[in-house]
């Protein structure tokens, strides 16, 4: 290999396929891709046998995946932990509800809601993140302050009962939350039931593919370099504060995507989505799956959401205890995450 060519070209080119198969996620063998494709295919044909209710439930298990992927990017790949992703989830949901709810007759009303919702999440993250990352605070301060942000947002939303807190024609609703949030619309198609299911599957797949390419591309590489050695990275000419802020805003936007899907699902949102217990859940999904693998996080988020749903709809009071114990056990005995540990074992045995 000539010196000039070797040092000029990026090591793996930059085509999407090559990025996707880059080293920074599990599942790179042809076999793994086949399993992934089969998985996706079964999600695509599933509604054929399922009722609209069942399909909507499955969509519910899926819709938190973008938020979890964002946290995986931030924590697993970037080494920056946030406990407040649910705040961005809630902001997107509420802002969407306000905008779309005030434009019931405009054909593009709901889409303006989407843009404003994501914009609001990103803007909040940018302002908040500026203070945190440009101060170069110690690592433990980021999760603490983001958690406080989520809790205060929840408290604030709980106080918004009464006509004083009606924006245009949409009441925020205090503890009872905002109801009657309109579903996304294109022409005559409303994204409910099966359409909502396919929307969710599509968004989740897009987020996953996009992020997997991102972590294998230059920006992701820099994020991992910062995680490994912040000072060394800065002394290669990178503005570390900016790179971290960028990842933070991206993760917040992804949390916003989940928030938007959530309000499509139930057409309501309450302050509890950004309360202390909900705030813990993304951390659990990501830690239990394996924070530095997007695929593991996606799989684990799906499974744990299903578990929580089953537990809570069976009226099981131990749900939180089980989730908490799972988190403690994983942090102690499988700190790489359960899914990642299993995947690596299988891979090793095959070799």
Partner 1 sequence: MPEAVSLLYQFGTNAAFLLLSALGLIVILGMMNIINLAHGEFMMLGAYAATASVQRGVPFPLAVLIAAVAVGLFGVVIERLIVRRFYGRELGALVVTWGISLILGQGALLLFGPFMPPIAIPGGAVALGDYSFSVYWLFLIVLCGVLLAALAFVYRATRFGLQARAAMQNARMARALGIRVDRIYMATFALGAALAGLSGALLAPTTSIAPFMGQQFVAPAFITVVVGGGASVIGGALGSSGLLSLVQTPVAFLFGTFSGTLALLLTALVVIRLLPGGVSSIGRYFTRRSLAAAR
Partner 2 sequence: MSDGDALLRAEGLCKRFGGVVAAQSIDFALRRGELRCVIGPNGAGKSTFFSLLCGIQRPDAGRIVFDGRDITRLKPFQRVRLGIGLTFQTNRAFHAMTVAENLETARRGGAAGDDVHFQTALASFGLAAQLERPASALPHHELQWLEICMALRRGPLLLLLDEPTAGMSPAETARTAEVLTALAADGLAIAVVEHDIAFVRQVAQTVTVLHQGAVFAEGSFAEVTARDDVRRIYLGHVHEAAA
Q: Which residues bind partner 2 (CB under 8 A)?
A: 1, 3-4, 6-7, 10-11, 218, 221-222, 224-225, 228-229, 231-240
Written as one string, the DSSP assignment of 171-234 is E--GGG-B--PPPPEETTEE--HHHHHHHHHHHHHHHHHHHHHHHHSHHHHHHHHHHH-HHHHH
Q: Which lies closer to partner 2 via its Cβ, residue 8 or residue 48?
A: 8
> Which residues, including other chains, have CB under 8 Å from residue 94's CB and lie 6 or more apart?
157, 172, 178, 269
Supply 185's token pair.
């619309």
Shortest spacing between CB 232 and partner 2, in angstroms: 4
CB 36 within 8 A of CB 208: no
Shortest spacing between CB 215 and partner 2, in angstroms: 13
Residue 257: Cβ-neighbour burial (10 angstroms; 0-12, 13-18, 19+): buried
207 binds partner 1 (CB under 8 A): no
Q: Which lies closer to partner 2 via its Cβ, residue 232 or residue 345?
A: 232
118 binds partner 1 (CB under 8 A): no
The one among 168, 335, 345, 346 contacting partner 1 by CB under 8 A:
335
The binding track of 231-250 with respect to partner 1, each residue x by CB under 8 A or -, is x-------------------
Q: Which lies closer to partner 2 via its Cβ, residue 1 or residue 45?
A: 1
Q: Which lies closer to partner 2 via its Cβ, residue 3 or residue 138?
A: 3
Which partner from the list partner 2, partner 1, none does 325 bind, CB cut-off 5 to 8 Å by kind?
A: partner 1
148 binds partner 1 (CB under 8 A): yes
CB 300 within 8 A of CB 285: yes
| Of residues 100, 97, 81, 85, the one with CA closest to residue 153 | 85
């Amino acid at each position: 290999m000539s010196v000039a060519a070797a040092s000029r070209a990026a090591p793996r080119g930059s085509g999407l396929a090559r990025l996707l198969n880059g080293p920074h996620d599990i599942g790179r063998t042809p076999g793994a891709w086949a399993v992934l494709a089969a998985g996706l295919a079964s999600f695509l044909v599933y509604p054929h046998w399922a009722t609209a209710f069942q399909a909507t439930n499955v969509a519910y298990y899926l819709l938190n995946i973008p938020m979890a992927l964002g946290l995986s990017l931030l924590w697993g790949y970037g080494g920056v932990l946030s406990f407040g992703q649910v705040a961005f989830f809630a902001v997107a949901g509420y802002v969407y509800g306000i905008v779309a709810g005030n434009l019931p007759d405009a054909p593009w009303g709901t889409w303006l809601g989407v843009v404003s919702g994501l914009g609001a999440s990103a803007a909040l993250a940018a302002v908040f993140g500026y203070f945190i990352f440009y101060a170069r605070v110690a690592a433990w301060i980021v999760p603490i302050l983001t958690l406080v942000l989520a809790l205060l947002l929840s408290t604030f939303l709980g106080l918004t009962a009464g006509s004083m807190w009606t924006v245009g024609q949409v009441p925020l609703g205090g503890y009872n939350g905002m109801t009657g949030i309109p579903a996304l619309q294109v022409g005559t198609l409303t994204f409910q039931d099966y359409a909502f299911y396919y929307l969710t599957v599509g968004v989740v797949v897009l987020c996953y593919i996009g992020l997997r390419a991102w972590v294998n591309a230059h920006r992701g590489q820099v994020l991992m370099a910062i995680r490994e050695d912040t000072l060394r990275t800065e002394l290669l000419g990178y503005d570390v504060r900016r790179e971290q802020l960028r990842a933070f805003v991206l993760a917040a936007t992804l949390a916003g995507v989940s928030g938007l899907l959530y309000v499509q699902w139930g057409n309501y949102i309450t302050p509890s989505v950004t309360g202390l217990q909900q705030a813990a859940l993304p951390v659990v999904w990501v830690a239990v799956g394996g924070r530095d693998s997007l695929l593991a996080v996606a799989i684990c988020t799906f499974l744990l959401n299903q578990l929580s749903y089953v537990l809570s709809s069976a009226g099981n009071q131990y749900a939180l205890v089980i989730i908490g114990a799972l988190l403690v056990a994983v942090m102690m005995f499988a700190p790489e995450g359960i899914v990642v540990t299993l995947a690596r074992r299988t891979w090793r045995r095959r070799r």
